[in-house]
Structure 1
């Protein structure tokens, strides 16, 4: 089980158990703690992966902190263009080339400094180099702090779909420096809050109500309220990942809204800072509403809970409708490639109401198509 220390006594620690246990540290100033960061490096080779938005802000400080703690470290840097469109096999290959150029040995460590794109690609490179080297996640977005940095899912996208090429590779440690949220654009903060809301939707109605009550503080970026939300989200995810590290059962619940959301992202061509396509958190927000509507249409859940979810997402400034111009049949075709599907049949995360998600196999496509078409 996960455990958390009080906020006032230093970093809040959430422990992820299982075969390869690790800790998630949540506190301000963690990127400057060179001793803690360097303690995760078993050898002398480090690859610091970041993106064009985050690297100018924090990469230099992380390098300096590591070198101050251990001057013998050989540190390489690989910087991606910011945005989901960079999470490609070509950039994965480029990261591998940097590891090769470093002469990185099996005791090397990859540091993923950034959001979910950086974390996923860097983690996949770490999983594959010499059949697996250490990876330390340094998430700098709310979304990556509460979701993608935890649990060891790593992947890249291909034209046919999101995260279709990847591996399970748990991190050695996660350091969520909440100071980085101060530089996070408002849109990205809201996107992260979509994943926070997800935890209330799938398993904790009390947390759902707390989010309703703390909406103003969360949207204002109040540091203590955000830290509480991050810790609660990580505790929920840690408890599930401990029991189901390879997503054979319960862990699929963490994907509420994701099958619909990934289809939207893929069909739009993925969001980036330079376009108006939905980013991941926004697409998940829409996907959760679609999953709730489908649950109501199938007689599984009260329609009133769909309305509660939609109202909360809208209160956080998140979209709840499919963007114009996306054809229902095209979205359904994308959903057929979802990794949860079995024997060519849709397998979706639906719910019985707020806090009561479940995995439903063999879902008929007609009601899904009706939901996608707004019928």
Structure 2
């Protein structure tokens, strides 16, 4: 899932805090995470026996004492960052995190692990029903924290957030539903080189001919369509020709490889708004309906989708990220792959007016606007409430990668 971000809020984050303090976040995520914990653990591990002994037929996992006294490894270099080894005590709030929530994202990463983490995945699965104290000890015994810095030594970066929209759509065009969502044009791949711009796609006969028969569904709101293009994935409540209403997912399939331009930034640069959040953009469009097309054409990038069934899929997880595994609400982030490899556990610390986070997350996605050493986009979940909160987050960030002990760190 490759996405951009529209957030243009420039408020600076407050000073660091080790407590998780999220405006409505716990209400948003708690229900889905509880279901995820139950369903994922039930299918990944046998029932936990009474007592404190190891699981039946499973050898016990030998762990250290968590003393954090081993000699530190050397600093490691990545193409866009450097990793400085630190003690676990440096990680803010490391004792307070609800690790069982993060374990679901770790289990997902183990579906497509990198060579560095693959040897640990058996233990990750076996530890899924362990207590948080045992999981904490496992992390300290197996993983070495590294502070992520820019090559210039800067440790502070930026956190934004993204989500999966839920949108009403129609399989057939109508006077109301007249905005198409397209699959990839015939003969075009996900990385096919620059193609027609958004304006050309909507106006040139040659572009329209190339997209003949490629409409997945029709939407009725140009702003919601742009939201879907920016987020890169969404859930459609779609009306079929026979009147049935189904839920399907449209996932990122590729783009026209034109540069991404923020429509919120365009409005700010034109001096047309002071509030470039989605509510502010919608309010401007309501007052200036004749300029909607001009606004949308200011972003030449166009996203193509593929349809995925939601029947038989655990809907408590999000779409697949760039790592190829389903995203976990509140525990998956998008990163710059030149700084942090996919599948890497990351300690995230960020404070701001909307949310304060100190928690274990997994680097499982990327995005064209997610660039830099200390940069992350936080997967909030799906639906209106997730979108309202995600759209307001733009704040200070610090990151620590957790790398397997004894495994060389390789850049690239």
> Which category describes the TM-score, using the shorter chain as reference length?
under 0.3
Which one has a bigger Cα radius of gyration?
A: 2
**TM-score, normalising length: structure 1:** 0.26
Normalized per residue, which structure has more strand? 2
Greater helix fraction, Structure 1 or Structure 2: 1
TM-score, normalization: structure 2?
0.24
